[in-house]
């Protein structure tokens, strides 16, 4: 190679490893959190399963987007602790029977669920990490769908009994105001893309399950219909391009799920994992999905969507989340 060409390649290599200020840019590892199945310990580890650290005692942990904080439920209330275990947990909300659902995208607040003493009713709230009272979002049972880019959170709240008894609603995080309803007659939860595209499941009049996708304030587009009436289809997450949708295929009366990738334009479905006990979340880069299996031993796995072999991140683990 000529000397000018060699210098050009070297310059390109330098640009790839240096930031705009001339500092080295390191690829940060994501944080995975889970509960130990044999003890009540909450564990934080890297996304390759290395360097596990006990951060506290509790259940149902979630991790902040930057991987630095962990929120989890304790007997005293909702607790927050650093993911590196360098400080003990602090009680963010001193209310029993509260569990976290997710950190806000900026990591400044936690969306959680509060359950009544009888365990028959639940409500959803948001509480700031800077303290203060929890702000109510909805007094109805709800599941988290996703966050918007303008300080909003989208929930699928139950408003009537039976199938298709939920509606997808957008709330403002700052004051809990109900802003708009994106879809009604929804069966379960949904998935929200970074561009605001919503996917949700709905049961048809014949008892079959369907997945719909919609652009904001646009007509509904049927993505795929499932001919088997004994299956439910639950959207889990969009890839960044919103061209592929990860869905869970759940047998009615079954506690296990198949994980599949659905091409929105091609309508083709490819199964990437079978018989998982819990489908946790799609990674932000849309390349892998975190799942839980309990047989023969509880374990957390990272499943690539490209068909490669799944990686076991932790054994004897459950109730996982990750910052990836």
Q: What is the pLDDT of residues 145-155, one digit of tens each?
A: 999 888 999 99
Instruction: Quote the CA–CA distance of 55 and 71 in Å, as a whole number.
Output: 10
Phi-psi category of residue 227: left, alpha or beta, with phi > 0 → left and psi -120 to 50 → alpha: alpha
What's residue 21's pLDDT? 34
Domain assignment present for 269: yes
Reported pTM: 0.84
Quick check: 236 and 248 in contact, CB under 8 A? yes
Q: Which segments of 68-129 does DSSP mark as H helices, in order?
A: none
What's residue 144's pLDDT? 94
Domain assignment present for 102: no
Domain assignment present for 264: yes
Domain assignment present for 248: yes
Q: Which residues contact 179 (CB under 8 A, 6 or more apart)?
A: 152, 169, 170, 171, 172
Q: What is the 3-state secondary structure (H, E, C) of 165-196?
A: CEEEEEEECCCCCEEEEEEEEECCCEEECCCC
3-class secondary-structure state, position 269: strand
Domain assignment present for 111: no
Long-range contacts of 37-45 (CB under 8 A, 24+ apart): 37/298, 37/316, 37/317, 37/318, 38/316, 42/70, 42/72, 42/81, 43/314, 43/317, 44/70, 44/83, 44/84, 44/85, 45/313, 45/314
Question: Is 246's pLDDT higher than 50?
Answer: yes
The total domain count for the chain is 1
Percent of the chain with pLDDT over 90: 48
Domain assignment present for 84: no
At 83-108, the pLDDT tens digits run 999 999 999 999 989 999 999 999 99
Question: Is 18's pLDDT higher than 60?
Answer: no
Question: Is 5's pLDDT higher than 70?
Answer: no
The residue range of the domain holding 229 is 142-276
63 vs 318, more confident: 63
Domain assignment present for 166: yes
CA 315, 317, 321, 323 torsion: positive or negative?
negative
Instruction: Quote the CA–CA distance of 302 and 9 in Å, as a whole number.
Output: 35
Instruction: Kindly report the CATH number assigned to the domain that includes residue 196.
Output: 2.130.10.120
Instruction: Quote the CA–CA distance of 225 and 212 in Å, as a whole number.
Output: 9
10 falls in which pLDDT band (50, 70, 90)?
very low
Phi-psi category of residue 285: left, alpha or beta, with phi > 0 → left and psi -120 to 50 → alpha: alpha
Q: Which residues contact 301 (CB under 8 A, 6 or more apart)?
A: 273, 276, 290, 291, 292, 293, 310, 311, 312, 313
Quick check: 84 and 53 in contact, CB under 8 A? yes
At 28-63, the pLDDT tens digits run 578 999 999 888 899 999 888 889 999 999 999 999
Range with the poorest average pLDDT among 32-36, 155-159, 248-252 = 248-252
Domain assignment present for 30: no
Give phi and psi for 12, each to the nearest 5: -65, -40
Cross-strand bridge partners of residue 190: 200
- Rounded to a whole number of angstroms, the distance between the first and last alpha carbons of the chain is 40
Compute the chain's Rg from CA coordinates: 21
At 160-218, the pLDDT tens digits run 988 889 999 999 999 999 999 999 999 888 999 888 889 998 887 776 788 888 875 55
219 falls in which pLDDT band (50, 70, 90)?
low
Instruction: Quote the CA–CA distance of 154 and 131 in Å, as a whole number.
Output: 23
């Amino acid at each position: 190679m000529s000397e000018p060409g060699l210098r050009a390649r070297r310059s390109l290599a330098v640009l790839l490893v240096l930031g705009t200020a001339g500092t080295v840019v390191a690829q940060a590892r994501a944080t995975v959190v889970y509960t130990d199945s044999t003890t009540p310990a909450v564990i934080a580890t890297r996304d390759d399963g290395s360097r596990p650290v006990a951060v506290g005692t509790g259940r149902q942990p979630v991790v902040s987007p930057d991987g630095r904080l962990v929120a989890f439920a304790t007997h005293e209330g909702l607790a927050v602790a650093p993911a590196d275990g360098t400080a003990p947990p602090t009680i963010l909300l001193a209310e029993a029977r509260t569990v976290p659902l997710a950190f806000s995208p900026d990591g400044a607040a936690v969306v959680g669920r509060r359950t009544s003493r009888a365990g028959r009713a639940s409500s959803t709230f948001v509480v700031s990490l800077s303290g203060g009272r929890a702000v109510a979002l909805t007094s109805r049972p709800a599941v988290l769908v996703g966050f918007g880019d303008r300080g909003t959170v989208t929930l699928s709240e139950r408003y009537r009994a039976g199938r298709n008894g939920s509606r997808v609603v957008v709330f403002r995080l700052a004051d809990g105001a109900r802003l708009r309803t994106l879809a009604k007659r929804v069966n379960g939860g949904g998935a929200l893309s970074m561009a605001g595209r919503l996917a949700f499941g709905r049961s048809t009049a014949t008892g079959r399950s369907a997945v719909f996708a919609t652009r904001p304030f646009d007509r509904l587009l049927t993505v795929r219909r499932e001919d088997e009436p004994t299956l439910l289809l639950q959207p889990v997450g969009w890839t960044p391009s919103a061209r592929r949708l990860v869905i869970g295929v759940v047998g009615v009366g079954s506690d296990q799920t198949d994980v599949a990738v659905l091409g929105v334009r091609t309508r083709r479905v490819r199964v990437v994992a079978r018989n998982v006990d819990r489908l946790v979340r799609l990674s932000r880069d849309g390349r892998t999905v975190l799942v839980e299996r309990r047989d023969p031993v509880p374990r957390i796995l990272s499943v690539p969507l490209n068909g490669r072999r799944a990686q076991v991140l932790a054994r004897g683990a459950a109730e996982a989340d990750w910052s990836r």
